[in-house]
Amino acid sequence: MGGRDSDLVLLDENGIRCDGRKVDETRNISIKAGVLKNANGSAYIEFGDNKILAGVFGPRDVHPKHMSDTDTGIIRCRYHMSPFSVTERKNPAPSRREIEIGKVIKEALRPAVMLEKFPRTAVDVYVEVLQADGGTRCAALDAASVALADAGIPMRDMVSACAAGKVADTIILDVNNEEDQAGQADMPIGYMPNLGKVTLLQLDGVLTPAEFKKCLETGIEGCKQVYEIQKQALKDKFFANGEQ
Ligand code: ADP
């Protein structure tokens, strides 16, 4: 947060954002399920200029064995950004940020997955960010949810994710990279649309209580839009012959 590029107009006098969107508009989102033949489940998402692949294995034996739990299955997540995903080559070794985001995605998915049905096993989620443009944790979570469903893993609900935030003292939906860098707040949200439960909530920046409420409501509306696209991606794969 905090005005790095002073020439950048985040919101013009007509309420249009730096990438031409209205305040309550998401970027273009497209999701394709079942894109990898060697994973049990997979999905590819384009969320604006973010391009992300998610692959799921499991439930399968846990290695190392001491990580397994006799009462329940476990979920693990590796989030990785490719060296070419950002303008300056990113060191391919896992950074603190990537380890944190892997943990955040895992924790956001866990309430949705019926892990108790698979004691002693692990579900592994691998996320590969091919191109990053702000909001990769939300887009990765969206792809990971579809990949889990594609793998046939029993779930209570889908997790749909989208950020909301604040630029030019205005609450906006789906924060892009420039808005994240120069704006006032970024709030990534993961939400289970049918259960009405939030599974991811982070906030970078400062909001008043009223702004916080509006930001959360705005983000949840975005999650509901994402949910429709996730469902359609699964229908497109499993009803490829046209029946819905
Ligand atoms: P998120 O991608 O979930 O918004 P961050 O807020 O940490 O997570 O990152 C915001 C954006 O900053 C990323 O989406 C990416 O476009 C950019 N970014 C992250 N790491 C790097 C990096 N090592 N080099 C350049 N840009 C980066």
> Domain extents for the chain?
4-243
* pLDDT at residue 244 in the model: 59
Is 123 strand, coil or helix?
strand
Which is nearest to 140 in space by CA: 55, 229, 24, 237? Answer: 55
pLDDT tens figures, 12-45:
999 999 999 999 999 999 999 999 999 999 999 9
**5: pLDDT confidence band, cut at 50, 70 and 90?**
low
The mean of the pLDDT values for the chain is 95
Atom 13 of ligand 1, nearest CA residue: 134
- Which residue type, as a one-letter code, is found at position 231? K
Q: Which atom of ligand 1 is nearest to the CA of 91?
A: 23
Cβ density class 71-87: b for 16+ within 10 Å, e for less? eebbbbbbbbbbeebee
CA of 156 to the centre of ligand 1 (A): 30
pTM exceeds 0.75, yes or no: yes
The dihedral over CA atoms of 101, 38, 50, 198, expressed in degrees to the nearest 10, equals -50
State the architecture of 4-243 in CATH terms.
2-Layer Sandwich (3.30)
Length of the chain: 244
pLDDT tens figures, 93-152:
999 999 999 999 999 999 999 999 999 999 999 999 999 999 999 999 999 999 999 999
CA of 181 to the centre of ligand 1 (A): 9
**3: pLDDT confidence band, cut at 50, 70 and 90?**
very low
The dihedral over CA atoms of 117, 199, 100, 47, expressed in degrees to the nearest 10, equals 110
Q: Give how far Cα 111 sits from Cα of 75, 78, 94, 116, 216, Å.
A: 10, 18, 26, 11, 19
**2: pLDDT confidence band, cut at 50, 70 and 90?**
low
